[in-house]
Each structure stands twice: as structure tokens, then as C-alpha cells.
Amino acid sequence: MVSGKNDPNTPPIVSLAAGGVAGGIEAFTSYPFEFAKTRVQLRTQKGIPTPRNPFLVVTQVYQNEGLRALYKGCAALVVGSIAKDAVRFVFFDTIKQAFADPQTGTLSPLRNLAAGMTAGVVASITAVTTTERIKTALIDDARNERRFRGGYHATQVIWKEHGLPGLYRGFVGTTLKQASATAFRMGTYNILKDFETTRNIPQNTATNFANGSVAGVVTTLCTQPFDVIKTRSQSAQGASTAEAVKSVLIDYGIRGFWKGTTMRLGRTVFSGGILFTAYEAAVKIINPLYSGVKHTAASEA
């Protein structure tokens, strides 16, 4: 489980499966907020204001382009989130054991953040950068050229035109975002959970959701600049990290690095609660099943 203490009853395979389930649920249920946030962060024509209310963006897209457009890039994000959160949870659960105090089995706040940062880097390399690139390119392409018929077609086109580097466009920004976001999200959640454990506060669905939502707020406010740079880098045409930073400064100045904060908060508050609640629930279901299969296999052997 995601907690400050080692849990020998949650093997890596269970963390992997539960993280994947939680990631898929979280990505699908919160995607309209992600769509709205990405639309706002991409470049628009000068003089055309962009709304801060995510519900207004979603409504406008639905009215002008239909429901299908609103979920453009969703499949790429869901697939990426399944892989991303499976990797993040299994690596975080594994890494935190190495970082834990050998006497108490708990992690200090700094070690919680360090474990989360390490897990975020691994997730960015193995799953996040490529799927985020496809998702962002699809959302951007739907506004203008409409060259991409779907996620698979977008992958083919980007690979043909730019090769593997094209799929890893925005790697620096994505890795910075993932390292910091995972550190703050996982770290904050575990710090809150450790505190509650010492105060004998029961860990139930409501507590898990509240902790996840708080972790989402902290993560968003601390990592928004990296998210803006990542989005600009991964537009349909693509841009280097330096070009992305320059374009944000030209368009909006320093304040531009927090473009889409309201949109992202709408998603992360909700998705943070969903993610950790779904993970804890999935562990409770999968762990006994895995233990039963393992016990049966051992008996037959």
C-alpha cells in the first residue's frame, strides 16, 4: 500500500496491477478537465481571451465540435496513465522500502519526496513522455490541421516524420514535471497518512479521497510551470524545451507559466482523490486474490 510503513502484504505485482487500475479509472473520469487545461496552454491567436472556467471550455468544445472532440486524445492518456501509475506505484512502493528508517519502517518528509521523485523519473522514461506527446498532439491537431485520425495514426505519422525523438519531444519538461509531481503527490499523501496514523485517524474511503485531493492541490501549485512547458513542447508541430519556454514568455510573460492552473486544479483535486481511493480499494481486492493464487501454486508444487 501507499503508506509510510513497509507493508510486506503488498508485493510489487499487486502494486503494479492496482496502480494500473487506479490510473485508468482516474484518467478516464477526469479527462474533460485535462482536455480543457491542455487547450488553454496551447498557443492561441493574439487578442482572443481564453476562459479560466474549465466547465466553460468543455461546454464550448461540446457545442462547437461535439462530444467526440471533447474526448480527443483520451485513449492515449488512459493507456499512458495505466502504464504510468502502474510504474509509479510499484517503483514508489519498492523505493520507499529502501529509503525507510530501518528501525521504524517510516519515511521522513524529505525521503518521501525523494522516493516519489525517483519513481516519477522512471515513469517519464518508460511510459509518460510518449503517451503525453500523442495526447497533446491530438488535442492540438484537432484545432487546426486535423491530420491525425486517432492515436495509432498520430504515432505512425510522428514516427515517420521525426522518428523516435519525435515521440519523445518534450522529454525534459515531462520528466521535470513527473519527477516533481510524483514527489509532491506521493510524498504529500504519505506524509498526511503517516500523520493520521500517529493520531489514530481511521483510513477509509473519505480519508483517502481527502488526502489525495490535498496532494493534488499541492502538486498543481508546485509543478504548473513544468506542465505548461511540457504542453508547448508536445504540440502537433512540436518544439524544443527552450523554444517552449521562449514562446510562453513572449505570449504571456512570467504569469504564463501558471496558465491553466485553475483548469488543472479542477482535475487534480478530483483525480487525486480518485487515484488514491481507487488504488487502496484495488489493493484490498487484488492482494487476497494474488495470495490465494500464490498459495495454490505453492501447494501444487
Is 5 inside any structural domain?
A: no
Is 2 inside any structural domain?
A: no
Is 194 inside any structural domain?
A: yes
Q: Which residues contact 33 (CB under 8 A, 6 or more apart)?
A: 54, 263, 264, 266, 267, 270, 271
Cell numbers representing residue 283 in the block: 489493493
pLDDT digit string, tens, across residues 149-185: 888 898 899 999 999 998 998 888 888 888 888 889 8
Q: What is the pLDDT of residue 50?
A: 63
Is 174 inside any structural domain?
A: yes
Asked if 59 contacts 160 with a C-beta cutoff of 8 angstroms, the reply is: no
Domain that holds residue 243: 12-300
Domain count, the chain: 1
Is the pLDDT higher at 64 or at 45? 64
The mean of the pLDDT values for the chain is 83
Cell numbers representing residue 230 in the block: 511540457
Q: What is the pLDDT of residue 279?
A: 93
Residue 46 has pLDDT above 70, yes or no: no
Confidence tier at 40 by pLDDT (50, 70, 90): confident
Question: For position 107, which CATH number holds?
Answer: 1.50.40.10
Return the amino acid letter for 290: Y
Confidence tier at 282 by pLDDT (50, 70, 90): very high
Average pLDDT rounded to a whole number, residues 24-34: 86
Confidence tier at 35 by pLDDT (50, 70, 90): confident
Of 58-67, 139-148, 272-281, which has the strongest mean pLDDT?
Answer: 272-281
Residue 25 has pLDDT above 50, yes or no: yes
Return the amino acid letter for 272: G
Asked if 81 contacts 60 with a C-beta cutoff of 8 angstroms, the reply is: no
Average pLDDT rounded to a whole number, residues 224-250: 83
CA nearest neighbour of 27 among 82, 86, 91: 82
Backbone angles phi, psi at 187, to 5 degrees: -65, -50
Coil, strand or helix at 176: helix
Confidence tier at 6 by pLDDT (50, 70, 90): very low
Provide the whole-model pTM: 0.69
Average pLDDT rounded to a whole number, residues 240-267: 85
Is 130 inside any structural domain?
A: yes
Return the amino acid letter for 264: R
Of 17-26, 34-43, 92-101, which has the strongest mean pLDDT?
Answer: 17-26
Residue 101 has pLDDT above 90, yes or no: no
Is 278 inside any structural domain?
A: yes
Q: What is the pLDDT of residue 236?
A: 66
Q: Which residues contact 118 (CB under 8 A, 6 or more apart)?
A: 91, 95, 179
Asked if 229 contacts 245 with a C-beta cutoff of 8 angstroms, the reply is: yes
Residue 117 has pLDDT above 60, yes or no: yes
Residue 268 has pLDDT above 80, yes or no: yes
Q: pLDDT > 90: what percent of the chain? A: 19
Region of poorest pLDDT, from 58-67, 80-89, 96-105, 220-229: 96-105
